[in-house]
Amino acid sequence: MKIASNYIEEPSAHFRLLSTGEKLPQIWKNHSKGIWKNIQPEIFEKNVKLGALNRSQCQPVIEDILPVYSGMLWNVEKKILTDPCFQPKLQYTDINDFLEASAIFFDQYKSKHIGVQLSGGFDSSIIITLLKHFKISFSLVGMSSSRYEFRTERYIQELIAPLGKNTVLIDFEDYLPLSQLEKVPAHQHPDMLNLNYHTNKAMAIECQKMGVEVLLTGSGGDNLFAEPIQLDARECTWMPQVFRDSWLDDLAYAPHGIEVVPFYADLGIMNTVYNLRLGQGEDNTKLWARQFFKDFLPQELINYTYCADFWGLYIDGLLNAVPTIRKLFEHAYDITANPYFSSQNTNDLLNQDLRDAQKTMYQGIESRVSLAVWLNGLFEKS
């Protein structure tokens, strides 16, 4: 079997040999020499359960190789990866400082056509209404659903959609989670984000049609507006580099000429919000932010709180994908002979009650599917 040669560049990641610290810009040549045969699925599953915030603790899934994503640092002496936390500078701030930081951020893209992911959520709505405040033209793209559990997001999407120069809302039912897994492109290292490729590819295509060059996201808003803020700035736990979905940025958006930028990963925005919320406790409903931005947001986002529920979509996506997943596992077993993908283990995994929305069960399923998707795309198609 021949390793895929027609692959997409992944500039957001490079690799390190854990034993020596040697830097590898990419590992396609290593795969051609057979390193892919030395995968350790159980370690990948453990890494997945660690979560993005603890990714620096991940162990090698392929031989001695660790992926290093943008923003991560390599400690030469200890031969370990670290994810540095943002270090705020304490200072007096008010709404004018936040608006100034926002203006500086937007000014970076004054020659670009800006797009924003319209999720119907609070964090992206702030970005959209700020653009309107500054009279900056923008387009909107998002996934929408007519399901009952998305009624609040849908209402906000319909309310805000007219603000965009162009607005495209894509029906989630046509792009359910775990759909089109067999069409995920070749990539160097297993990554859980490959399960979300199809949805993001659809948004990237629509962005390209609208001429969007920079797509802003609300990723990181939960951290800035909901987490407790310590009086000692050295205790800040924000890691702006994890606000990015680097794998999707490289493989779903970049091929369509789209640069994805998380608004809340901007250092000026982060520093201002940290100082504005200094000493505040956990605020999961973002009550402070709803009041702080009350002159910009629709009343529905000021007076009401809500939380998206993706379980129904996810469960339906998984149930629809079961035949494809079985084929992917069978293919993975054929090329690796690893018991992890055996028919017995496949049956044990998929014969569970898949409608039981338990995080631990789904993590086990997702990690195995993601690994099989990676193996499926790794080789030239006959």
> What is the spatial distance between Cα 311 and Cα 374, in angstroms, rounded to a whole number?
24
- CATH topology for 95-303 is Rossmann fold (3.40.50)
pLDDT score, position 382: 67
Tell me: the pLDDT tens digits for 122-178? Answer: 999 999 999 999 999 999 999 999 999 999 999 999 999 999 999 999 999 999 999
Q: Could you tell me if residue 34 is left (phi over 0), alpha (psi between -120 and 50 degrees) or otherwise beta?
A: left
Tell me: the pLDDT tens digits for 38-74? Answer: 999 999 999 999 999 999 999 999 989 999 999 999 9
Cα atoms in the 13 Å half-sphere on the side-chain side of 320: 15
User: Structure tokens of 334?
Assistant: 């054929």
Residue 317 has pLDDT above 90, yes or no: yes
Question: pLDDT over 90 for what percent of the chain?
Answer: 94
Q: Residues 349, 365: contact at Cβ < 8 Å? A: yes
Tell me: the pLDDT tens digits for 234-253? Answer: 999 999 999 999 999 999 99
**For the chain, what are the domain ranges?**
1-84, 95-303, 325-382
Tell me: the pLDDT tens digits for 74-107? Answer: 999 999 999 999 999 999 999 999 999 999 999 9
